[in-house]
Structure 1
């Protein structure tokens, strides 16, 4: 959620709290409201009428970034029918449970580096052999066949996937986004710049997802062709593999 969207939702909640307050005044205009804490807004949440000497409780608001919505906020209504105030003479709500505890991700970062090294090595070895295989299949006329045409397209899909993966790891800052799309917060954590367009980042990730899907569809196309070749070899050889190639790349 962007900061602007969060402010908008907080403002809507505040407006709704005002309406609740007016409605309670109308409902209890002829009744004695002593012994009840009034409807109040604490800058984040609305608190309805609460009996004196009790503690009101609500789930943490979902319109505040970083809050754990499975936890609760509490607010104490004193015996005299007023909301409890702190040392600064300000009504106080306990949001401590809403703040998600910080996690020590140092061990996860180490594992992440190991995994990144592992798949980078795998992509590098795979890319070298794939380029050699495509060069041999394209350069050697004896290997020109319909089934090898499908193999070449499958290899090209895996080559595209490896190249785009290398680009992402090279261009992305802290594996979050491009340098122009992220900034480092005061806590040292990188976050997206909300007012940026991110079109280059989106384009790169779109190509990466496309390459992954192309690999899967190329394997499916080969499986369909081989299945048809086993059951109806003459028909499969007569029609060619153009439809299977289009299926693999266009999905």
Structure 2
């Protein structure tokens, strides 16, 4: 029992806790190195009156302050949610002591001014849009995967690529939901910057990259099927898997390694902006541009070289797939095109941009499911056939029940 109690008291390792180390350093700077940023603004005072002593309140260092004045300093930047452009303040009372909060009888610093409540509420709404949008996309994607796997007659190279694309999107969206719920919404988690949240960031970005590279595989497959034609599906599928899952892993490893060794880029669960993100943005952007070129060429072939043939249905399926992909590629690329066009913070269009970006990003999976599954001719045909067979089977069971009931009645009449 005693050992159990000791183990519980040693769970929290203060010496290795980054927040504890940061605050300890600030306290040392306050009393040993005399580092403080507080100042008295606009108040008149008599130097012969009492002075409040230098104090470290747990977040900031407050210099000696004349009685009956108020000291100000920028809000601490290391606290998630605080705006360093705003100011916290601490009152020195008439008798030269710091103001005491009557509710808890402790010295009190006013940090409430550090939080922009309106902006905080808006960002909460944006995060909710992301979570709801990703949840809708996951539901649509999982349903699509079930449909593809259930109707075995649909399985071909194109549908297998769809399944990989849908799986990468579904996993990516689930991870983003986890990210928003366990990291973004948890200030303490971001502040502590534990290894698990950094790993979650890396894994989430890996599956985000796979989604775009499998979209590239969609375009590449259409290009190969209609232009190159002589490549075997089995060989092509192996290369697609290497490209979709393997190349994404290499890009992610390079990104994680470079960012890990970049000073200041691994704080706050890697949430802060870092130029290392271009390691992801550039290859993804290139894949989108090349995909668009492939698809334009596919459309050109469909319009100029394919004529009515006995395999008209296959030609029509290829046309619809190309049209769906042509819609999706600009849709996916629009998110990257909008990055340089992002309005400045607090500008009139900034909030509209945030809402549009949240909707566009979180509902990509739903768009994929609609265009590649729910409106797919083969899927619709297979579903109608299944429903027709299901209805006929139910009718047969019902008729059997009626006939059996009549036979039983006839038998009873005969016995009587």
* Bucket of the pairwise TM-score, normalised by the shorter protein: 0.5 to 0.7
Instruction: Render the CA deviation track for 1:117-169: whole Å, top value 9, x for unaligned.
Output: 257537866995xx98982xx6xxxxxxxxxxxxx6xx876543311222345
Partner of 2:194: 194
Q: Are residues 4 and 190 of structure 1, via their aligned partners in 2, closer, same or farther at CA, if it must alter by over 3 Å?
A: closer
Deviation at 1:58, TM superposition (A): 1.3
Deviation at 1:223, TM superposition (A): 1.8
Q: Is 2:164 the counterpart of 1:160?
A: yes
Report the Cα distance in structure 1 between the residues aligned to 2:79 and 2:126, rounded to whole angstroms: 28
Aligned residue runs from structure 1 range 43-192, under 5 A:
43-87=58-102, 90-99=106-115, 101=117, 103=121, 109=128, 112-113=131-132, 116-117=135-136, 120-121=139-140, 128=148, 135=156, 159-169=163-173, 172=175, 175-176=177-178
Deviation at 1:89, TM superposition (A): 5.5
Deviation at 1:51, TM superposition (A): 3.1
2:52 aligned residue (14, 37, 60):
37
Deviation at 1:50, TM superposition (A): 2.5
Name the structure with the higher strand share. Answer: 1
Name the structure with the higher helix share. Answer: 2
Paired residue total: 192
Instruction: Render the CA deviation track for 1:67-99: whole Å, top value 9, x for unaligned.
Output: 343432111123344333344664322222235
Report the Cα distance in structure 2 between the residues aligned to 1:109 and 1:207, rounded to whole angstroms: 21
Q: Are residues 119 and 13 of structure 1, via their aligned partners in 2, closer, same or farther at CA, if it must alter by over 3 Å?
A: same
Q: Is 2:211 the counterpart of 1:211?
A: yes
Partner of 2:27: 14
Q: Runs of 5+ in structure 2 lacking a partner?
A: 1-15, 37-45, 217-286, 301-416
User: SS in structure 1 opposite 2:82?
Assistant: coil
Q: Are residues 162 and 6 of structure 1, via their aligned partners in 2, closer, same or farther at CA, if it must alter by over 3 Å?
A: same
Q: Runs of 5+ in structure 1 lacking a partner?
A: 24-31, 139-151, 231-251
Report 1 or 2 for greater relative contact order, CA contacts < 8 Å, sequence distance ≥ 6: 2
Report the Cα distance in structure 2 between the residues aligned to 1:202 and 1:79, rounded to whole angstroms: 54
Report the Cα distance in structure 2 between the residues aligned to 1:208 and 1:70, rounded to whole angstroms: 33
TM norm structure 2: 0.35
Partner of 2:383: none
Q: Are residues 160 and 44 of structure 1, via their aligned partners in 2, closer, same or farther at CA, if it must alter by over 3 Å?
A: same
